[in-house]
Homo-oligomer: A and B are copies of this chain.
Amino acid sequence: MSRVYNFSAGPAVLPEEVLKEVADEMMDYRGCGMSVMEMSHRSKMFDDIIKEAEKDLRELMHIPDNYKVLFLQGGASQQFAMIPMNLMKNRVADYIVTGQWAKKAWQEAQKYGKANKIASSEDKTFSYIPDCSDLPVSEDADYVYICENNTIYGTKYKELPNTKGKILVSDVSSCFLSEPIDVTKYGLVYGGVQKNIGPAGMVIAIIREDLITEDVLPGTPTMLTYKTHADAGSLYNTPNCFCIYVCGKVFKWLKKMGGLEAMKERNEKKAAILYDFLDQSEMFHGTVEKKDRSLMNVPFVTGDKELDAKFVKESQEAGFENLKGHRTVGGMRASIYNAMPMEGVEALVAFMKKFEEENR
């Protein structure tokens, strides 16, 4: 077995010890004689798994009792519709568009009401986060929507927008559990798990109880109603059981690593290794405003497309996978989620230095 350094933007690297445990338990989960994949979602065994996962997540994020934790299917893309269908009581919402995913969410919301774009950074290819301290928030807005970390562009909100009292809804898919957050600042905070937590096929939504109502837009499917899942403890129908199980193991791993405070420190150190190199390199440079840099996704370019392509090719041959940037940005992108070890980033920087020397 030879593992590569996997810089994929998602699905992405998972902790090796988690994968080992999953492999070890595949034929027989803790003496029950079956795999978690074969287990009834109504069994005592699985009930323990889902309850323990929720408990550990609540501890990690300090989720208050008046918030529900929901394990849902369909990815963030399905939330783009589910959010307005459930929350757009006045049929008005404000969107801050800082990347492709926020834009898609904004476009989908237009099906359900007046979705206002109150700020955007599209003028500079989403390379920064706009000043959100005094935006023209709509008086009758049901919520203000953001995508907190922009996977493709490598930016992140360092401060949450001033929503002027309106509910904040945030997609944290690519920074989920990478650092502590104050859950009470959000009405709904959600993310796909396939970047920083587990295998693809699940979204975790953390939603304030008073926002969970039967009063949804006409025609909202039962499965797209938060109340359906909140009332049933995410077991209205068969959930993605295996994903919940793997995520639960990652929660345990995060607790063992010291929790989100420790992860933040570690992620800052890891990102600094790469950003410090980019800031002094004569060949490579970052593509976003320094103040808005993500700790998770680090896009960079040489400024020369052929050289970019050469780097991607040679890095892959050297065991660094998925460094090619998103097609809308070009160049390279290193996604360095929680499970990317420090040595992976150090090895990447060493390789970049060597490449720079050989190709200057």
Contacts and interface: CB of A to CB of B under 8 A. Distances in A.
Interface of A: 1-4, 6, 8-14, 16, 19-20, 22-24, 26-28, 31-35, 37-41, 43, 73-78, 80-82, 85, 108, 111-112, 192, 194, 198-202, 217-219, 221-224, 236-243, 246, 319, 321-322
Interchain residue pairs A-B with the least CB separation, the first 6: A201-B240, A81-B221, A4-B33, A23-B26, A37-B199, A73-B73
* Number of this chain's copies in the complex: 2
Contact of A237 (B38, B77, B85): B77
Given A3-B34, A111-B219, A11 B200 contact: no
Contacts of A200: 37, 41, 238-242
28 contacts: A1-B27, A2-B28, A2-B31, A3-B33, A3-B34, A8-B43, A11-B40, A11-B241, A13-B38, A14-B35, A19-B35, A23-B26, A23-B27, A33-B319, A34-B321, A41-B200, A74-B223, A77-B222, A77-B223, A81-B221, A81-B222, A192-B238, A194-B238, A199-B241, A200-B241, A201-B239, A218-B219, A221-B224
A11 B27 contact: no
Q: Is the interface of A mostly helix, strand, loop or mixed?
A: loop
Nearest to A201: B240
A38 B201 contact: no
Q: Max chain B CB contacts within 10 Å: which of A23, A32, A35, A108?
A: A35
Given A41-B200, A81-B224, 19 more contacts: A1-B28, A2-B33, A8-B39, A9-B40, A11-B37, A12-B38, A14-B35, A26-B26, A75-B237, A78-B221, A80-B222, A81-B221, A111-B218, A112-B219, A199-B240, A200-B239, A201-B239, A201-B242, A218-B219
B41 A11 contact: yes
Contacts of A80: 221-223
A312 to B, nearest CB: 13
Contacts of A224: 78, 81, 221, 224
